[in-house]
């Protein structure tokens, strides 16, 4: 009797696992509306370490299409894009760009970005001390340029 109950439970779990695949995750890449402009080396670092969560050019891995993982990945990317979206950079007002650059700078200094879990899954996203310093220097230059603009 116990074995029969276990089989039924496994079948029901399997059916539920298949059924949740029908629930849309929101995995998508809207068209870019104005990418950030940066020197080639900075742009390459941003693309390698930031774009999957902070642009409309996300490279969706295979697991991002499997529920319930897909729901979490889509939620994290939606949140990341709301914080900073390098594919919509030209849409931001200068004051917004400055604030977002300062946020990125703080995240770099505190080594909060890229997140540790993301780095484990995507080892190429890890930032060397040199890449971190280069990004920080570029951010400081961008913030300075915004601050020197006439209002």
**How many C-beta atoms lie closer than 10 Å to residue 69's C-beta?**
14
Is residue 99 a part of any domain in this protein? yes
- Consecutive sets of 10 residues in the chain, 151 residues long: mean pLDDT of each? 73 69 69 91 95 93 84 90 95 95 94 90 93 96 90 70
Residue 101 lies in a domain: yes
How many domains does the chain divide into? 1
Contact 105, 139 (CB under 8 A): yes
Within a domain: residue 17?
no
Residue 29 lies in a domain: no
Answer yes or no: is 134 within a domain: yes
Q: How far is CA 122 from the centre of its chain?
A: 12
pLDDT at 124: 93
In this structure, how many other beta carbons lie within 10 angstroms of the beta carbon of residue 52?
22
Q: Would you say residue 4 lies in a domain?
A: no
pLDDT at 71: 85
- Which positions ≥6 away from 35 have C-beta within 8 Å? 55, 86, 87, 89, 90
Classify residue 87 as exposed, middle or buried by CB count within 10 Å of its CB (0-12, 13-18, 19+): buried
Stated pTM of the model = 0.81
Structural domain boundaries enclosing 129: 35-147
Q: Is residue 142 part of a domain?
A: yes
CA 68 to chain centre: 18
> Does residue 18 sit within a domain?
no
């Amino acid at each position: 009797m116990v074995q029969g109950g276990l089989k039924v439970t496994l079948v029901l779990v399997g059916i539920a696992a298949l059924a949740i695949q029908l629930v849309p995750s929101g995995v998508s890449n809207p068209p870019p509306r104005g990418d950030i402009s940066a020197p080639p080396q900075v742009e390459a670092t941003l693309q390698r370490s930031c774009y999957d969560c902070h642009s409309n050019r996300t490279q969706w891995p295979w697991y991002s299409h499997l529920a319930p993982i897909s729901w979490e990945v889509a939620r994290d990317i939606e949140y990341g894009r709301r914080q900073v979206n390098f594919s919509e950079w030209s849409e931001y007002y200068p004051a917004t760009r400055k604030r977002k650059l300062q946020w990125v700078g703080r995240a770099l200094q505190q080594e909060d970005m890229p997140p540790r879990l993301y780095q484990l899954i995507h080892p190429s996203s890890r930032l060397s001390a040199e890449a971190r310093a280069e990004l920080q220097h570029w951010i400081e230059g961008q913030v300075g340029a915004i601050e020197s603009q006439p209002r």
